[in-house]
Amino acid sequence: MKNAYYYLTEFGALNGLNKVLPNTQKKTFLVLDSSVCLDIVNIVNKRNINKESKRKALELINYSQKKSMPPFEIFALLELSFDKTTFNLNTDKFLDLSKKLKFAFQFPLSRIRKKEFNFSDNFYQPEKPNINRDASVFAEQILVHYCALLKIREIAHNGLGKQKAKKNLIEFIDWMEFELGLILGIEYQLAFQIFGGNNSFNAMIKENSTKEKALKTLWGTAWDLLHARVSRNSKQLSQILNEDVNSIFITNDKRLYELLSPQIEFATEFDRSKISITDRKENYPPNYNEDFINELNQRFIEIYKARNLQKVEYPNNDFIKNIILNLEKNVC
* pLDDT tens for the chain, residues 1 to 332: 467 898 888 767 777 666 555 555 678 889 999 999 999 999 999 998 899 999 999 999 999 999 889 999 988 999 999 998 888 999 999 999 999 999 999 999 999 999 999 998 888 776 777 788 888 887 778 999 999 999 999 999 989 999 999 999 999 999 999 999 888 888 999 999 999 999 999 999 998 889 999 999 999 999 988 888 877 777 777 888 888 888 889 999 999 988 887 644 334 443 444 544 444 455 688 999 889 988 888 888 888 777 776 666 778 888 999 999 999 998 98
Q: Please provide residue 179's backbone torsions phi and psi, each rounded to the nearest 5 degrees.
A: -105, -50
Strand partners, 144: none
Quick check: is 211 in a domain?
A: yes
For residue 285, the SS3 value is: coil
Q: Which of 227, 247, 224, 223 is nearest to 235 (CA)?
A: 247
Q: Is residue 68 part of a domain?
A: no
CA distance 17 to 108: 21
Nearest to 249 by CA among 23, 10, 88: 10
**What is d(CA 63, CA 172) in angstroms, rounded to the nearest whole number?**
42
Distance CA 217, CA 212 (A): 9
Position 52 in a domain: no
Give the range of the structural domain holding residue 283, as residue numbers without chain letter: 149-228+253-329
Which stretches does DSSP call E strand in the chain?
A: 6-9, 12-14, 27-32, 71-72, 245-251, 264-270, 273-278
Report how many domains make up the chain: 1
Query: Using alpha carbons only, what angle is made at residue 51 by residues 50 and 56, rounded to the nearest 5 degrees?
Result: 105
Residue 206 lies in a domain: yes
In our burial notation (b when 16+ CB lie closer than 10 A, e otherwise), range 186-214 reads bbbbbbbbbbbebeebbebbbbeeeeeeb
In a domain, 160, yes or no: yes
Distance of CA 49 to the CA centre of its chain: 24
Q: Is residue 188 part of a domain?
A: yes
Distance of CA 122 to the CA centre of its chain: 33
Whether 142 maps to a domain, the answer reads no
Judge whether 267 lies within some domain. Answer: yes
